[in-house]
């Protein structure tokens, strides 16, 4: 059973009037962990549990780390989150409320991530905040839900950080049917070898109805 919830899809009258076309909003802030991140990270955590992993590691003090902590609590798997000293106390408290062990290390994320990587072993899974095909497949369920709702759309608007949500939306549109053939990928989305690559921040040309970020 997925760890994420199906979230409401509402038509915004105000935005529709401003845009001159129907604008629908997907309320991903209503996910138990507070963001769309739970879709992909929850799916990845479930898969790693099936593979026999007995601990989850994250180096994100934001929405991704919180999604790992929530998923670990529901799956009864301990979670360790390594964050830099710059992580706000409130964020650390939220992680601990979900039962995660929080380690504060280094002045910047790179140092925290290096320590997190050093904690890995054969029984541990590392949950990257966006660079993992398992996450993309999970994030694609957002589009699956919109298609099932019967809402007609020919574009999607979203914010792009690391590219995980963008990758998931692209996958959802390819497999979901509604508007899939009109979906456009940024030029740098696939490399010369044909393999999927994460887009750089600020890629233009994507129009999404749901909102979120990495």
- pLDDT per residue as tens digits for the range 66-120: 999 999 999 999 999 999 999 999 999 999 999 999 999 999 999 999 999 999 9
CATH topology identical between 1-30+130-214 and 37-129? yes
* Alpha carbon separation from 130 to 8, 18, 64 (Å, rounded): 24, 33, 8
Average pLDDT across the chain, whole number: 85
Architecture of the CATH domain 1-30+130-214: 3-Layer(aba) Sandwich (3.40)
CATH architecture of 37-129: 3-Layer(aba) Sandwich (3.40)
Question: Taking the domains of the chain in order of start, what are their residue ranges?
Answer: 1-30+130-214, 37-129
> Rounded to two decimals, what is the model's pTM?
0.81
State mean pLDDT over 25-38. 96
Please check whether residue 204 is in contact with residue 159, taking contact to mean a CB–CB distance below 8 angstroms: no
Q: What is the pLDDT of residues 33-81, one digit of tens each?
A: 999 999 999 999 999 999 999 999 999 989 999 999 999 999 999 999 9
Residue whose pair of structure tokens reads 């529901």 in the numeric block: 74
Closest CA to 108 of 84, 81, 82: 84
Enumerate the H helices of the chain as residue ranges: 13-19, 37-50, 63-75, 89-97, 109-118, 133-139, 141-149, 164-176
Residue 185 has pLDDT above 90, yes or no: no
Residue with tokens 């398992």: 134
Lowest mean pLDDT among 7-16, 27-36, 172-181: 172-181
Q: Which residues contact residue 177 at a Cβ distance below 8 angstroms, ignoring those fewer than 6 apart?
A: 147
């Amino acid at each position: 059973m997925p760890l994420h919830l199906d979230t409401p899809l509402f038509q915004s009258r105000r935005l529709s009037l401003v845009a001159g076309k129907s604008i629908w909003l997907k309320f991903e802030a209503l996910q138990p962990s507070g963001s769309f991140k739970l879709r992909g990270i929850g799916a990845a955590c479930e898969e790693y549990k099936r593979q026999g992993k007995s601990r989850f590691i994250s180096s994100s003090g934001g929405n991704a780390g919180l999604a790992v902590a929530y998923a670990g609590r529901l799956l009864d798997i301990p979670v360790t989150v390594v964050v830099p000293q710059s992580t706000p106390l409130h964020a650390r408290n939220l992680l601990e409320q979900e039962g995660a062990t929080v380690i504060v290390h280094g002045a910047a994320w790179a140092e925290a991530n290096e320590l997190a990587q050093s904690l890995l072993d054969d029984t541990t899974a590392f949950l990257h905040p966006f660079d993992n095909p398992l996450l993309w497949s999970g994030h694609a369920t957002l589009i699956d839900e919109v298609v099932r709702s019967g809402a007609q759309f020919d574009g999607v608007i979203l914010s792009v950080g690391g590219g995980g949500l963008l990758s998931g939306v692209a996958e959802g549109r390819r497999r979901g049917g509604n508007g899939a053939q009109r979906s456009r990928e940024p030029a740098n989305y696939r490399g010369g070898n044909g393999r999927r690559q994460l887009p750089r921040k600020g890629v233009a040309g994507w129009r999404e109805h749901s909102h979120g970020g990495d």
